[in-house]
Every structure is written in C-alpha cells, then in structure tokens.
Amino acid sequence: MISTVAQPSRILIGAGARHKAGALVAEVGGRRPLVVTDSFLAGNGAADELVQTFADAGLSAAVWSGTVPDPTTDSLAAGLAAVTAHDADVLVGFGGGSPIDTAKALALLAVSGGAMAEYKASRSNDGPALPIVAVPTTAGTGSEVTQFTVITDSRTDEKMLCIGPAFLPAAAIVDYELTLTMPARLTADTGIDALTHAIEAYVSRKANRFSDGMSLTAIRTIGSALRRVYADGSDRQAREAMMLAATQAGIAFSNSSVALVHGMSRPIGAHFHVAHGLANAMLLPTVTRYSVPAAEARYADCARALGCAAADDDDATAAQALVDELEALCNDLAVPTPRSYGIDERAWRQKIPTMVEQAIASGSPANNPRVPTPDDVAAIYSEIY
C-alpha cells in the first residue's frame, strides 16, 4: 500500500519557540500576517507578545480576536472582513482548536470564496487558500498539523468536518510554555482528545505504518503524563510531554483518520455546546468496548503502549484492559456523563435521530474497525447518557 504523508513544512518545537514566530512567518512568505485569536489571548498580553515578534522581523501585523468556541459560519463574516481590511497574506491561528480552525476556514474562504457548507466532507479541498501558521495554546486538538477544520453551520447546527490540503498549516509552533496556565478541566479534556486521536488513528481502517508509529508514541507519552499534569498543572516536564504527544497524535490522525468517537462527538458539541475534548471523553470507553471485537489485536497494542497491559498479555486480555483503563482514566479526570453535565434527558433523546444522521454523514464512523449501523450509533448515544 502506498501512503501519502502530509504535515507542515516547518514545525518549531520547544520552550520559547513562540519568540521565533516573526522569522517563521517571513520564511513562509508572509509580510502582512493577521493573528486570528480570541478575546482572552488578546486581553492577557499573549497576542501582543506574538505581534512584537512580527514587528521585530519587519512585518506589518494586525490582530482579529473575534473567534468563538466551536466556530460557526456566522462567526466567519467578521473574520473575512478583517482579512480584507488588513490585506493579509498569511493567517496566524493563535489559541486552542477554535482559533486555529477559524484561521483555516478564513484562509480558504478569503481566496476561494463561497460558503463553508460547500467545502464539507466528503469533498476534499485543495484550495487555493492563504498560508496558515498555527500556534496552539492547548495540548489536545492537534489542529496545528492537520488537514481538517470543523465549523458549525449556524442554520442547521451541524458541525461540518472539512478536509483537504487547503487546511494544512504551512508551519507550526509547538511551545509548551503556552499551556502552563491551562486549568485542570481544560487540561483533562484536551488530553483525552489527544489520546482519542492517537487511538482512533491506530485502529482506523485508513491506518498506515507512518501513522501507526506516531500513534503508539503519543499513546505511550499520554499514559505517563496525563494524570500528572491534571494533578499539577505546573509540572513542566508533563506539560512538555503532553504538548508533543498532542502534535504527534495530530500528525497521526491527519495521515490516517479519526473514527466513530469523533463522528459521534461532533453532534454532541453542536447541539449541546459540550467542548469537543469533553464530548470525546464521554464516548471513548463505550465506543472502544463496542469496537474491540473487530480489531482486538490493534486495541491490544494500544493497551500495551498506554501501560495498562503487559507485553506478554494475550490480545483479549490486553484489549479488555484498555477498556477498563479508559473508564478509570475518565473517572480519575472527573469526566461527566451527559446527564451529570446537566443535559436534559428529554432533549437528549429527542436529538438522537438527528445526531445519528449527522454522525454517519460526517464519514468518520465508516473508518471505525467495526462500522456501525444507525441503530448501533443510537444505542451508544442512549448508553452514555
């Protein structure tokens, strides 16, 4: 099998790498970067620090801080106006997954035009688009190295998965110091998001040798670091480990695919405003238990990498240990159920048919080792509530 590997042409990794942002933007040909970020990062001085690196490199930068959590099609209009007003030639996505996903969408729309709904999966988007430099401030989404963006349709509440080389950043900066102030809840949710990326990339029907290596390395690191950093956010060694693992998991799933967990989590986020990583965490143990029979050996490999199974455990034992460990991890990290999160049961039940339809339409469930029927997806939604 021939595999195509795609990742940013330049990735700067390490403490203080953010101070090289100006030089990196210049390397990708940018002279008028627009920083796409949120109001928090614009207000706490972090965006200003980034802008100073652009000034030091002789670049003319501007900041647009209007991104919103789980970006919507409506939220893109002001961003497009900012791109035009600044005559931006490169977009710098600065923040968590939402600012980076927003930057990706704006990069395509600013050049190719049209509406975001025209670009959703299964269409693969080649551009043209503005170049993107991604600077993540969370350790989870991996968006800084992926060919994906997720934008919610404001009219239908569908979380649209959009794929293709047009969304792949030209460069990325992975500086774990930007994550040192993340609160425990966000640390947990983004950490489980990264773990989900790595596991799904490994068990996906589109897995390959390149993605396999990245996946197992990320799983191994997350297994040793996630509980530590949740308990002590000032643990710099664990923060650094999680930041690198999140990027490796992002590269893995960008060159393989995500599967059923992600397909089902996007509708939860869209309809009930649950953070993406938290929605993944709500689903991960149950979906893994459902999927294990179709790829027992692959899930067993994940268990050994995570450290919850021994090298000489048989596959059945190891795969069951993985399910048990994911349940324990979610318990240790205080992951709520939809019920305990506060979602009304009647509203949840009413939305299940729509969520099933949107999950399957995204294409991600078809990559799962056990491809679900609509009834299977509905049953899992009911079970996790």
pLDDT in the model for residue 159: 86
Cα(256)–Cα(146) distance, rounded to whole angstroms? 10
Calculate the CA 340 to chain-centre distance.
24
Give the model's pLDDT for residue 4. 83
Name the CA radius of gyration of the chain, rounded: 20
Given this model, what pLDDT does residue 3 score? Answer: 81
pLDDT score for 1: 74
List, for residues 117-159, the tens digit of each pLDDT value. Answer: 999 988 999 989 999 999 999 999 999 999 999 999 999 888 8
pLDDT beneath 70: ranges in the chain: none
- Helix axis angle for 345-361 and 260-272, nearest 10°, is 130
Rounded to whole angstroms, the Cα distance separating 385 from 377 reads 13
Q: For residues 30 and 228, give the distance between their C-alpha atoms in angstroms, rounded to a whole number.
A: 39
pLDDT digits (tens, 9 = 90+) for 339-372: 999 999 999 999 999 999 999 999 999 999 999 9
